Structures are given as structure tokens and as C-alpha cells.
Amino acid sequence: MDVRTFTVGPLQENCYLVRRDGGERALVIDPGEEAPRLLGAMEQLGVTPDAILLTHTHFDHIGAVAPIARATGAPVYCPRDELAVMRDPSAFYPPMFGPVEGWEAEHALDGGDTLQLDGLDVEVIATPGHSPGHVTFAIDGALFSGDVLFQGSIGRTDLPGADHATLMASIAALLERFDDETPVHPGHMGLTTLGRERATNPFLQALAGR
């Protein structure tokens, strides 16, 4: 699997371009901003996106969804509980964050879904807490976890619809299910692993011994 990371926008959000090694079709995860740069990178790599996958719909993760969907025809897969936000972000976010263009997602995602896209098995795991419908994608043994877990930190839970205990339960479920070696591609900051965060992340000490 070939994973390219593009850190975009003022909040330094990570957009991922994921494909099989040498593949010409790719998945775009959380295109948060800078659509021209992302489209240019795909063109340079000779890659066509087949799907746009969203972990959640906070404005810093969806700013380039509409322009990329329109330019490429790639369908958008959005968590079911956050379809309304993707449809009309301006109804949810103050103008100071925007404007973020809305998009009617072609597919709704639920935890437990398994998608076959571009020869990759994409498992959709419900990981609410940071946002109500937040999902994590497990692809080829790696996690694309949006704003659930970061290097040395966890997703914030001071925003509407967030809940700290729910987030901790989501993280605990990931730690229980996946090996320590599992790579974690987060929505902000650098690549980490579940084991590294289990051992060193101060926010996970409450889960110690699990």
C-alpha cells in the first residue's frame, strides 16, 4: 500500500492519498483544504481518485471535498450521522471558519461497513467522541483515524456533539482490537503506532492495564 500525506490548511490537517503500490486509482481521505494542490499532486502522480472518504465533518477536514468531487467525479463517503453537516457546513460553522462548500455525499458510512475500493479492503469502524459520527478506516493493517488519537494527544472534546468518555471508549476499543505495531495515520501531526501511544501517550494512562 502506498500512502501519501498532504498537510493542508491553517490547522495543518492531514489529507491522505491511499492506493495499492503502483496503482493508478486512489482513495482520498479527509481532503481538508488546498484543493488545487491536492488535484495537482494527483495529476503529477498519474492517479485518479475513486472515492473520497471522510472520518468526520469538522470544517478543517472537508474544505476541499466539493471541489475535488466536482473535478474528478469521485463519490463522497460520509459518516451517516454527519451527512447534514457535509450537505451544508455553513449551517454548523460560523463564517469565520469558512466558507466551506457543502456536498451531498453519495454514500453514508456506518461502523461495521466493509468497502472494496481500488483493490483495497476498507473497514469502517465507529469511533465517536471527538464528533458524533466519527469513523476510523482500517486499510491493509493501518488505521486512518482522523481526530481520535494523535502523537502524545487525543482528539478534543470541547466542541458541540463531543464527549470525552465516548472518545476514550473508542480509543480503548481500537487498542483492544489491533496490535501495537498497527500504524496510525492521524488527522493532525505525524504518523504513530498504537503501541507507541499505549506506552507514552499521557491521555491513555487512564486505559492502562486494559
* Site of grid cell 482513495: 27
CB of 56 to Fe ion, least distance (A): 6
Residue least distant from Fe ion (Cβ): 58
Nearer to Fe ion, 85 or 139 (CB): 85
Nearer CB in complex with Fe ion: 27/162: 162
Q: Which three cell numbers stand for residue 48?
A: 485518479
CB 155 within 8 A of CB 129: yes
Q: Which is nearer to Fe ion, 148 or 175 (CB)?
A: 148
Q: Which of 66, 25, 75 is nearest to 48 (CA)?
A: 25
> Among 21-29, 52-60, 79-87, 118-126, which window interacts with Fe ion (CB under 5 A)?
52-60
Binding-site string for Fe ion from residue 83 to residue 122, where x marks contact by CB under 5 A and - marks none: ----------------------------------------
C-alpha count within 13 angstroms, C-beta hemisphere, residue 86: 32
Helices (H) and strands (E) in the chain — how many of each?
A: 6, 14
Applying CB under 5 A, the site for Fe ion has a residue count of 2
Q: Check binding of 58 to Fe ion (CB under 5 A).
A: yes
Torsion 76-192-154-176 (CA) sign: positive
Q: Dig out the grid coordinates for 114 from the structure.
A: 466493509
> Of 82 and 118, which has the nearer Cβ to Fe ion?
82
> Which position among 147, 148, 185, 186 is part of the footprint of Fe ion (CB under 5 A)?
147
Smallest separation, CB 15 to Fe ion (Å): 13
By C-beta, is 58 or 185 nearer to Fe ion?
58
- Choices 84-92, 103-111, 135-143, 147-155 (CB under 5 A): range interacting with Fe ion: 147-155
What is the per-residue DSSP string for 176-207? Answer: HHS-TT-EEEESBS--EEHHHHHHH-GGGGGG
Spatial separation of the C-alpha atoms in residues 134 and 157, rounded to whole Å: 12
Q: Which stretch binds Fe ion (CB under 5 A): 56-64, 69-77, 96-104, 171-179?
A: 56-64
In angstroms, the CA 19 to CA 118 distance is: 7
Which of 100, 35, 110 has the alpha carbon at shortest distance from 74?
Answer: 35
Q: For binding to Fe ion (CB under 5 A), which residues are involved?
A: 58, 147
